[in-house]
Amino acid sequence: MSKIIWSVIDEAPALATYSLLPIVNAFTQAAGVEVVTSDISLSGRVLAAMGLAQDELSKLGEVVLQEDGNIIKLPNISASAGQLKDCIAELQAQGHKIPNYPENPTTDEEKAIAAKYATCLGSAVNPVLREGNSDRRAAVAVKKFAQKNPHKLRAFATDSKAYVAHMEGKGDFYSHEKSVTLDANQKVVIALNGKELKTVDCVANEVLDGTFMSISALKAFYKKTIEDAKAKNLIWSLHLKATMMKISDPIMFGYAFEIFFADVFAKYADVFKAVGVNPNMGMSDLEKKIAGHAKEAEIKAAFQAVVEADAPKIAMVDSDKGTTNFNASNDVIIDASMPVVVREGGKQWDRTGAALETVAVIPDSTYAMFHAEMVADCVKHGQYDVSTMGTMQNIGLMAQKAEEYGSHPTTFELKEAGTVTVTGANGVLMSFECEAGDIWRMSRTKDAAIKDWVRLTVERTKLEGIPAIFWLDEKRAHDAELIKKVNAYLKDFDTTGLDIQFMNVTNATRFTNTRIREGKNTIAVTGNVLRDHLTDMYPILELGTSAKMLSIVPLLAGGGLYETGAGGSAPKHVEQFVKEGHLRWDSLGEFLALAESLRFLGQKHADAKLTALTAGLDTANAAYLDNNKEPGRKAGEPDNKASHFFLAQYWAKALAEGDNAELAAKFAPVAKALVDNEAKIMEELLAVEGKPQDIGGYFRPDDAKAEKAMRPSATLNAIIASI
């Protein structure tokens, strides 16, 4: 029997799995395909780190190195320290004997605990599983549906003042970057003033980058943007990615928090020091630290006074709850938040709930140049037309932990001023003069990953017949090294008639956007982080969500990893479900990934039933879109559970009417039962709408409770069980 591994993850997609997976298993087993689960949720990884559960992530790390590895990977939490602490607290409350997370470890025992928990922070899953480069695009049926049923993009004002602010000149990671390509396998030592910070084992032909963020320049930049927001009456908003850049971005977040509320931090400095306030953790953690203190109310009032002064206005995460941009470093994740700025016409929400024009503050220009051009393009040319706009496809360099913008183990907040050196077998490779507090980081990109990136680009360009643009900037040290390699490896392929070009970020954005406005398609060939940003920005504008993108990772060993879209909105979905029994998560990404996963199996193992099963799912996915069965947003409307029912109905009908006699005979009565009982099933599914649900936990739901909440139709359950 062929096998597909389905990842058990977090939040809304995890809840959806309780409803969808029984249906998937019932259908796939009929064609000899077994779908098994692997728990790589944040809570599962925490328990594994503490020795209380199997290390499923490591096991999957072995699967992706096998030629027949086949994994459907749903979006997981890339945990900030705050989320990790909340997860630990929930697990402790459920009876798991695990220690608290030591924020500032001092003893050997605390350091050992912190090291174990560190494996659960940030983007810990993706580097293990992504043993291949990324192929992300909208399925043709999905794109056509979006054009026929355009979602709402709000117009930019003709005199819009919205813009993106980023550091320019000297000071940020972009301006300080140095890069080298190693000529042999060797140990590389990172040191500050001769004292070792880290030693890494590097391999021949890999690209090493080193760079740093000047904290004095960062502070000056923040102060300048705050004054500019005041002068122009703009909302001030900060956009970082503390979930992926788990060392650097929380630090940059903390400085912004301190500077925006400078007077409050100065006035209560002694209190904050005494209770252990860490600005990097945000306002929510600060409030926990001052809880019960004699000056708690006074301090909260001082912060609120700054917010209400509107000098400048500050972006809100939740206006109704008074939750600001500074609540927690992981609340605003740039690849999810910046598409909203563009979608809303250059606006974010203030404390009253009003949508107002914003200055979006993104310190590092390396990728901020993309967002700056996206906003500038709309200010100049107006909002996009969803019904006619073309599409952006992406080939992303991410195999073998291609980092591009910094690795967690090689990112350091420098404790003293001086010289950071990167030394290889034959001497110093790079050196940097830094100040105390600066953030220094190194990243690595393997040669094999770059070769495969070029191969995949040529393959997709031939298939699509559209221009492919390598987003590489010859003035950026990292990109200059990659340009050399890409030019060399392109010679290994027949590129006759292919339009393959190199452009810096700003020019590549302009080129892509011009074509998109003309209804034309373009392939963006990018590094790992820009892949993240582009494959949220463009799909959210084109399709309304990035969860509807095909996200395929052809693994270097020959297997396949099929990702199901972004989960940035998943926390709000869970909150709504617990409150009123309505899950608005759209599982279309899972449906599409399953089809591609089955297609992969069909390519490996010629089998008539498997071919028919895949064709039936393709038909069902098209019917799902054509009949507009995606979940409604409000309680009382059909939700995620109903969308799974309709997929099952359409899939069963397609198989019953298909060419494979055995599957047709098996699924004809199933299709009839699903059609005949539609009214009853929908009545049972809608009966729970508007009612609170107990799922037994946010990070680790109780399986029995969650399954009961997500499978409320006895009629549907009985039909699925009969297959």
Tokens of 10: 């977090």
Tokens of 384: 């996009």
How many C-beta atoms surround the C-beta of residue 712 within 10 A?
Answer: 19
How many C-beta atoms surround the C-beta of residue 53 within 10 A?
Answer: 15
The confidence score (pLDDT) of residue 566 equals 63
CA distance 122 to 330: 10
Cβ 187 vs Cβ 202: under 8 Å: yes
CA distance 445 to 465: 28
Read off φ and ψ for residue 513, nearest 5 degrees. -70, -35
Helix or strand or coil: residue 58? helix
Decide if 324 is inside a domain: yes
pLDDT at 570 > cutoff 70: no
pLDDT tens digits, 70-100:
999 998 888 888 899 999 999 999 999 999 9
CA distance 11 to 86: 14
**Across residues 353-368, what is the average pLDDT?**
97
Tokens of 169: 């000149």
Decide if 685 is inside a domain: no
pLDDT tens digits, 548-567:
888 999 999 999 999 986 65
Cβ 564 vs Cβ 17: under 8 Å: no
pLDDT at 408 > cutoff 90: no
Helix or strand or coil: residue 640? helix
Strands (E), 368-467: 392-396, 411-413, 418-424, 427-434, 439-445
CA distance 46 to 121: 10
Work out the mean pLDDT of the chain and round it to a whole number.
95
Q: 309: buried, middle or exposed (CB in 10 Å: 19+, 13-18, 0-12)?
A: exposed
pLDDT tens digits, 691-711:
999 999 999 999 999 999 999
pLDDT tens digits, 581-612:
999 999 999 999 999 999 999 988 888 999 99
Give me the domain span that covers residue 326. Answer: 163-171+221-381
Decide if 305 is inside a domain: yes
The confidence score (pLDDT) of residue 244 equals 80
Strands across the sheet with 411-413, in order? Answer: 178-181, 207-213, 439-445, 411-413
- C-alpha distances in angstroms, 383 versus 99, 153, 362, 538? 51, 7, 22, 13
* Count of domains observed in the chain: 1
> DSSP letter at 100?
P
Decide if 302 is inside a domain: yes
Greater pLDDT, 122 or 570: 122
**Across residues 428-457, what is the average pLDDT?**
97
- C-alpha distances in angstroms, 46 versus 53, 57, 75, 539, 714? 9, 11, 17, 32, 35
**Across residues 35-41, what is the average pLDDT?**
97
Angle of the 661-676 helix axis to the 640-656 helix axis, nearest 10: 140
Positive/negative CA dihedral, 60, 572, 633, 351: negative
User: Of 366, 372, 361, 362, which Cα lies nearest the Cα of 510?
Assistant: 372
**Across residues 632-639, what is the average pLDDT?**
95
The confidence score (pLDDT) of residue 572 equals 83
pLDDT at 67 > cutoff 70: yes
Read off φ and ψ for residue 212, nearest 5 degrees. -150, 155
CA distance 244 to 530: 13
Tokens of 174: 């972009």
pLDDT at 185 > cutoff 60: yes
pLDDT tens digits, 326-359:
999 988 889 889 999 999 999 999 999 999 999 9
Decide if 50 is inside a domain: no
Tokens of 660: 């494979």
Decide if 325 is inside a domain: yes
Decide if 357 is inside a domain: yes
CA angle in degrees (0–180, nearest 5) for 380-383-388: 120
- Its pTM stands at 0.90
Which residue bears the tokens 């030394």? 423
Decide if 609 is inside a domain: no
The confidence score (pLDDT) of residue 331 equals 87
Cβ 414 vs Cβ 434: under 8 Å: yes
Stretch among 114-128, 155-169, 264-278, 384-398 having the lowest mean pLDDT = 114-128
The confidence score (pLDDT) of residue 545 equals 86
Burial readout 142-179 (b: 16 or more C-beta within 10 A, e: otherwise): bbebbbeebeebeebeeebebbbbbbeeebbbbbbbbb
pLDDT at 568 > cutoff 60: no
Positive/negative CA dihedral, 123, 128, 133, 137: negative
- C-alpha distances in angstroms, 125 versus 57, 78, 79, 486? 7, 8, 10, 28
